[in-house]
A and B are shown apart, each in its own frame.
Chain A
Amino acid sequence: MNKQINNGFRTGLIFGIINIFLILIGFPMVAGTIIKDAIHNDSTVLLGLNADILDMLIFMGLIGLWAGASGGRRLKGEVDTWLDALASSASSGFTNGLLVGGLAYLLGALNDAGVRISVYLAAILPATIKQLLLGKNTLDGALLEFGFLFVTGLLGGALGFALRGQWRKALGDWWKKIWSGFVNSAWVRKIRSHPLFMPAVYALGLVILYIIPQEAGKYWNYTLGTVGIYVLLGLGLNVVVGFAGLLDLGYVAFFAIGAYTVALLTAPNPHHLMWSFWVALPIGIVLAAAAGILLGIPVLRMRGDYLAIVTLGFGEIIRILATSDLLTPFSGGPKGVSAIGGPTLFGKPFSSDKDFVYLIMIGILLTIFVTTQLRSSRVGRAWEAMREDETVARAMGINTLTHKLMAFAIGAAFAGLGGVLFASRNQFTGPEDHNLMVSINVLSVVIVGGMGSIPGVIAGAFALKGLPEVLREVQDYRVLFFGALLVIMMIWRPEGLWPSSRRSMELGKADDNAKKNSGAPGGKP
């Protein structure tokens, strides 16, 4: 029993801390807005509750249920009876409630005392505090919040317990039966073995990709485009970091080169060249790749940390050069370049947000094709060896310098493509588009998604760029959000959201193998 309570306490602590963090960045209020949007009850008063408070209750309720359920779940073999589950979830809910209720009380008391908390924490407005206190006064509200989390915790524990064991197994078995019955049935097999099956699947995929931008509105197409560009950048950086194992923190430099190329070549100012987008596009890509090689030649002899620092510097240099007095007449300076040209198709403009989603998708498909081909080629094998052990790779006859340069140039080329598309879509680019955060964001996309994994990078881009875009209000806290997400990911899923099969093998199965082969030492001595 002690064990269950202890365990619940720890779970509650984790949930409570995460919850406090979310509250401090204003997340529950944003989540509340989304809940409101989802069920369209802007001002309806339900159950005698004001909508804001209802949203808060829904959000907190979900967290509470989750905390309770995982409080009961963490001890796999140890939660055998209802009593165990309830003890564990009660302790989890209690701790969670105590932390959050305590925070609510603290904020409420400070607010009552006339302290303007929003000066320090922008998300904590008096109205927010009121919402957190569920519309009551400080003490009552805090107690209510505590009680609510405690009760939902208990409920979550009970629910989790009920749904595990036989119920869950029954549900799983039922599903398995249906699924295997479906997969093994004669007609499904016949279809799957048909030579046109895979082409048909691809065709269907393309049709879906075609339809999505048609159906999405302007806002969603804009968001999709942004996420798509990050997918593109992530896939490119994945070649450098994931395949070749080179830590490049100046990736934004190549993105900037692509963006400035299309800007300076197609915009009326500062050069009045007004070239076609389609001419500027390949030039941007080639220039970015060339910059990759140019930067690569001096720095790729360095290893690890040094490489990271030097590339970091290079990333900043492009931006600083662009804003310098010296280059302002050439680059548009701090004000940036506007009225950048967009693509045309058969003489008609093809540059709405929707059109760009298509262009970006084509870019992504191209990138996926190129990177998968590369990975399974001789070059890919050389990268793999190099990433594992550079010296031994050289002793195998691998020219590590040219292979590093190749990775750098290819990654840079995709960044250039991303930059061209980004600047052209926004019809503007300026130094602020190219700060260090871009490099960090893209690197986070790669790491969170799963280094070396192509679907992982896509998932990572949606998680890191898509989510904050959806939760517009937390944008200001994106850095915090990233940080928290990265830490959580590193603890819970060090291999990334969707790891490459290799990485999951290393981190999971490899251990099992080592155990199976009894006493075999893992890794290098």
Chain B
Amino acid sequence: MSMLEINDIHTYYGNIHALNGISLKVEKGEIVTLIGANGAGKTTTLRTIAGLLKPRQGQVLLEGEDITKLKAHEVVYKGVAMVPEGRGIFARLTVTENLDLGAYSRTDRQNFAQDLERVFTIFPRLKERQKQVAGTLSGGEQQMLAMGRSLMARPRILLMDEPSMGLAPILVESIFDTIVAINKEGTTILLVEQNALMALSIAARGYVLQTGEIVLLDSAANLKQNEMVRKSYLGIE
């Protein structure tokens, strides 16, 4: 059974038909990437899965369980965590408080310290800056915080919305290394990226989204070779 499966999703913003029948699957333990131009509907897809938007039609299944009708906070309790677009850290709270809120959905508070240690092992920078107000972290540190915070929920599947946005190339690489490491520890990942080259190099499979529709799905290796993908998303003629 797939970790995540969405079937024929239609999501609207008022009258705007943002997702026009999207279906995709993420298997347990996989990294799957969703690429597409600005405004294609990538963020909308993630927000629909997370329950922040309600689709008018279609289903979201988490390991076979229908979570389409659940409210956003209930979806979190089912094991879906999100690294939101633009990081969405709590800018006026400290690093520790942010991480603490990441674990809000956890009922096993006794494991909190252990999880915190895990996050600090992955992101030693955050450990140094525990007491700092999150809004004053550098862009890269904020991204680490957003990722660390999502890990505090110990999700079954992690939805990441453009984690590399606005970061220097060297940082992008280390963020992607971290994503791979997190995945190796057993978290399934659905990764939305503008940086298609990087995303395809760590993902097993990829979907290409165009104005609310999936136009292509294939293994990452094949997508990298695909003419259309190379032209539109990799910038290679």
Would A394 and B92 be within 8 Å (CB), given that A510-B135, A523-B135, A525-B139 are in contact? no
A392 within 8 A of B: yes
A393: which B residues are within 8 A, CB to CB? 101
A398 to B101 CA separation, bound complex (whole angstroms): 9
Residues 38-81 of B, flagged 1 when their CB comes within 8 A of A and 0 if not, give 00000000000010100000000000000000011100110001
| B133 and A397 contact, CB distance less than 8 A | no
A399 to B75 CA separation, bound complex (whole angstroms): 11
| B104 and A524 contact, CB distance less than 8 A | no
Would A517 and B138 be within 8 Å (CB), given that A381-B100, A396-B104, A397-B76 are in contact? yes
B137: which A residues are within 8 A, CB to CB? 517, 520
Tell me the chain B residues, 98-117 only, with Cβ under 8 Å from chain A.
Answer: 100-102, 104-105
| A521 and B138 contact, CB distance less than 8 A | yes
| B90 and A388 contact, CB distance less than 8 A | yes
B136 within 8 A of A: yes
Residues 81-106 of B, flagged 1 when their CB comes within 8 A of A and 0 if not, give 11010111111110001001110110
| B93 and A388 contact, CB distance less than 8 A | yes
B71: which A residues are within 8 A, CB to CB? 394, 399
B91: which A residues are within 8 A, CB to CB? 388, 523-524
Closest Cβ–Cβ distance, residue A152 to chain B (whole Å)? 44
| A395 and B72 contact, CB distance less than 8 A | yes
| A397 and B105 contact, CB distance less than 8 A | yes
A513 within 8 A of B: yes
Max count, chain A CB within 10 A of own CB: residue among B84, B88, B92, B153: B92
A509 to B143 CA separation, bound complex (whole angstroms): 22
A393 to B73 CA separation, bound complex (whole angstroms): 8
Closest Cβ–Cβ distance, residue A324 to chain B (whole Å)? 38
Question: Closest A-chain residue to B166, C-beta based?
Answer: A525
| A513 and B101 contact, CB distance less than 8 A | no
| B52 and A388 contact, CB distance less than 8 A | no
**Total count of chain A residues near the partner, CB < 8 A:** 32
Task: Choose from B76, B132, B133, B136 the contact partner of A396 (Cβ within 8 Å).
Answer: B76
Would A389 and B90 be within 8 Å (CB), given that A396-B101, A397-B76, A399-B73 are in contact? yes
Max count, chain B CB within 10 A of own CB: residue among A392, A393, A400, A517: A392
A522 to B139 CA separation, bound complex (whole angstroms): 9
| A524 and B76 contact, CB distance less than 8 A | no
| A517 and B136 contact, CB distance less than 8 A | yes
| B133 and A506 contact, CB distance less than 8 A | yes
Contacts between the two chains (Cβ within 8 Å), count: 95
A524: which B residues are within 8 A, CB to CB? 86-87, 91, 135
Task: Choose from B52, B93, B132, B133 the contact partner of A394 (Cβ within 8 Å).
Answer: B52
| B104 and A395 contact, CB distance less than 8 A | no
| A505 and B133 contact, CB distance less than 8 A | yes
Closest Cβ–Cβ distance, residue B76 to chain A (whole Å)? 3
Task: Choose from A382, A510, A525 the contact partner of B136 (Cβ within 8 Å).
Answer: A510
A509 to B131 CA separation, bound complex (whole angstroms): 12
A330 to B72 CA separation, bound complex (whole angstroms): 44
A505 to B135 CA separation, bound complex (whole angstroms): 12
Closest Cβ–Cβ distance, residue B131 to chain A (whole Å)? 10
A517 to B84 CA separation, bound complex (whole angstroms): 25
| A395 and B52 contact, CB distance less than 8 A | yes
A304 to B64 CA separation, bound complex (whole angstroms): 38
A512 to B232 CA separation, bound complex (whole angstroms): 44
A524 to B135 CA separation, bound complex (whole angstroms): 6
| B135 and A395 contact, CB distance less than 8 A | no
Would A396 and B102 be within 8 Å (CB), given that A388-B93, A523-B91, A524-B91 are in contact? yes
Question: Closest A-chain residue to B71, C-beta based?
Answer: A399
| A395 and B88 contact, CB distance less than 8 A | yes
Residues 374-399 of A, flagged 1 when their CB comes within 8 A of B and 0 if not, give 00001001101100110111111111
B141: which A residues are within 8 A, CB to CB? 520
Tell me the chain A residues, 346-395 only, with Cβ under 8 Å from chain B.
Answer: 378, 381-382, 384-385, 388-389, 391-395
Closest Cβ–Cβ distance, residue A303 to chain B (whole Å)? 14
A96 to B120 CA separation, bound complex (whole angstroms): 59
Closest Cβ–Cβ distance, residue B48 to chain A (whole Å)? 13
Closest 6 CB pairs of A and B: A397-B105, A397-B76, A394-B72, A392-B88, A388-B90, A514-B136
A-to-B contact residues, CB < 8 Å: 378, 381-382, 384-385, 388-389, 391-400, 502, 505-506, 509-510, 513-514, 517, 519-525
B-to-A contact residues, CB < 8 Å: 50, 52, 71-73, 76-77, 81-82, 84, 86-93, 97, 100-102, 104-105, 132-133, 135-139, 141, 149, 153, 166
The contact sample of 15 A-B pairs, CB cut-off 8 A, is A385-B104, A388-B92, A392-B90, A394-B52, A394-B71, A394-B73, A396-B102, A396-B104, A396-B105, A396-B153, A398-B104, A505-B133, A517-B137, A522-B136, A523-B135
